[in-house]
Structure 1
């Protein structure tokens, strides 16, 4: 699966050149995200001191709009220390748009490499391999799309952690809660612990999902195969009683799958809702003691969510990973069967 794309001279330009473009684009996005986090501090500190501009409202309103949509940072018409939200968000939107588009193209090239790596080998096999057409057409497509999407998220998460851990570590000095205020980098350690704990619970709650996804693909393949064969021979295939029996297997497997996804969704939704308030539980008291300002509170909340999101990447993508594991298993079985049955002269060199 991987060697068709990453170990092929034909696809080396796309595999490594395209990957470098994606990584560079993600790095620029993360840098803009760090700048936006700094903007949060300035903007919300301005809002907290809005009462000081009662007698000079025009100045306060000008600063307010300057923080949001001002272009002075670009034009140099005024001394502005930080760019406005518009100046930061506009390039971020275009970078995100380009990255999403290029990622899909990258995944399509990967699928092409796998598909036309499998086909010549499969054509030499005389034995029947279960679900061959599905594995070449659908599983290659889903595998490439999931891996490129998940891989992109992993790279983004790593870059985000590299950028935001120092910020969150420094902000940990603002914690004014007993015990936590005595631990250096307490916010970072807290994000790591709750993420690992959430991942462990997710592993337990979703333990049966990979097997059910794998069985689901098998019963779907059998149902579709009978319908495909019936396109050329309705006399011997697509009989109602046969299709009903096959669909009964599909329905039974989906019902079990949905039941277990229900348990898993209940856990993940509850976890995510709790994590929204964690930064406020930790930092909120400091607002009332004067230890922090509103801007710092918002900065901590944003930085905590970024770091926690990086640590909890696999938790938030558990259903996707479950699907990927089942697809990988099917494609790995397919490769094993090709290796077993194909003619010696067509076997790829190690």
Structure 2
């Protein structure tokens, strides 16, 4: 799955994580100050341009240079150390480009959030009858919004296009790797399904899930500093009163609470989802074998196997019921939490409508990013199931014993003679037509 596309995957991913952490720490440690010493002095926050100028400020240009340096050094290292891997142009340089595009897309959201503040303030002045607000002011704001929207649409379309090609190259690498071993794997039960269906589903899930994960991380890196700077406008929080960086602190505590709360409530779901894949596979396997062998797929065995399917589904329904209740409760509480913590500040009249909109949007972005794992739980479990099936397939190729959970017997306890036949009848374990698709 990974060595077909990435050079020395274990070392590659470890080095990528370490190098990324170093890059982040240096940037927030002294990287910005280094930029200032080189002449890239950022504008004060109240002088930041709204619109397309957001992407070409001196601090943004310095970040582009900084990111290019870290990407080039990392890519150059793996270009030499990777051993001339066939797919490293896509796996190394392509990964770096995807991260940059995702970060840029998040910055489009930041630019839109800055516009939202200006628009809200203009709207408030107009409602108050301020004669300084003209029709042209709103038309100018709409033009700026159209420019930002045009950038957002272009970036989104290019991101999806490139990621789709990137992931299909990954699938091609897996496909070529397994097909080259076809004379060896054609005797493994389900080989055709592993190569065609599982690689296809693996690529499809990674296309959405991978980008979402990078987007969540980039959103945190982009909006947490925004919340930190906006905390200067907040007078106090309900109940706790004055605390340092109130918005920043409240966002982190609330988001971590939501993640831990929902993860604790849904702790049984991953195991049940994985077991669901197993019981469904056991039922499907018996039906497939019944197409070729008269002594397989008898009504009693099928009834017992389907009883396992029904039992697992009923457990899923039960556990999803209270998980969905807890999740709906938290989502509804999350909708008003940012307003709740701003009540003392709103009543004191120290913030405007535009500032309120900007804080609410930034708070929501941070909260959603922290909840990435919970929101993607079902998809992650499906990906893990596919990963385990492909790992089992690769273990069979290498002649390695499967993990204990993959050897678990889902045959009905009552059908001892059938289960024993499954273990001892080599004509069943190795059908005479190994090239047949299941």
Q: 1:21 to 1:183 in 2, by over 3 A?
A: same
Q: 1:132 to 1:259 in 2, by over 3 A?
A: farther
Q: 1:339 to 1:117 in 2, by over 3 A?
A: same
Q: CA deviation at 1:54?
A: 6.8
Q: 1:306 to 1:235 in 2, by over 3 A?
A: same
Note if 1:32 corresponds to 2:113: no
Deviations 1:97-118 (A, max 9, x none): 2222332332222222223323
1:19 to 87, 95, 99: 95
Please give the TM-score of this superposition, normalised by the length of structure 1. 0.81
Partner of 1:77: none
Q: CA deviation at 1:87?
A: 1.0
Q: 1:55 to 1:184 in 2, by over 3 A?
A: closer
Partner of 2:4: 4
Please give the TM-score of this superposition, normalised by the length of structure 2. 0.66
SS state at 2:236 partner: coil
Q: CA deviation at 1:242?
A: 5.5
Note if 1:283 corresponds to 2:342: yes
Q: 1:136 to 1:247 in 2, by over 3 A?
A: farther
Partner of 1:76: none
Note if 1:333 corresponds to 2:407: no
Alpha-carbon separation, structure 2, partners of 1:123 and 1:249: 35
Q: CA deviation at 1:4?
A: 1.4
Q: CA deviation at 1:35?
A: 0.8
Partner of 1:96: 156
Task: Write out aligned runs for 1:295-334 (5 A).
Answer: 295-334=354-393
Task: Write out aligned runs for 1:34-49 (5 A).
Answer: 34-49=110-125
Q: CA deviation at 1:317?
A: 1.4
97-106 vs 41-50, which deviates more? 97-106
Q: 1:224 to 1:208 in 2, by over 3 A?
A: same
Alpha-carbon separation, structure 2, partners of 1:181 and 1:93: 42
User: Do 1:213 and 1:322's aligned partners in 2 also have CA atoms closer than 8 Å?
Assistant: yes
Q: 1:217 to 1:50 in 2, by over 3 A?
A: same
298-307 vs 21-30, which deviates more? 21-30
Gaps of 5+ in 2: 8-83, 402-438
Partner of 1:198: 258
User: Do 1:22 and 1:103's aligned partners in 2 also have CA atoms closer than 8 Å?
Assistant: yes
Q: 1:125 to 1:26 in 2, by over 3 A?
A: closer
Aligned length: 324
Alpha-carbon separation, structure 1, partners of 2:137 and 2:241: 34
User: Do 1:198 and 1:315's aligned partners in 2 also have CA atoms closer than 8 Å?
Assistant: no
CA RMSD of aligned residues (A): 2.9
Q: CA deviation at 1:290?
A: 1.3
1:257 to 316, 320, 338: 316
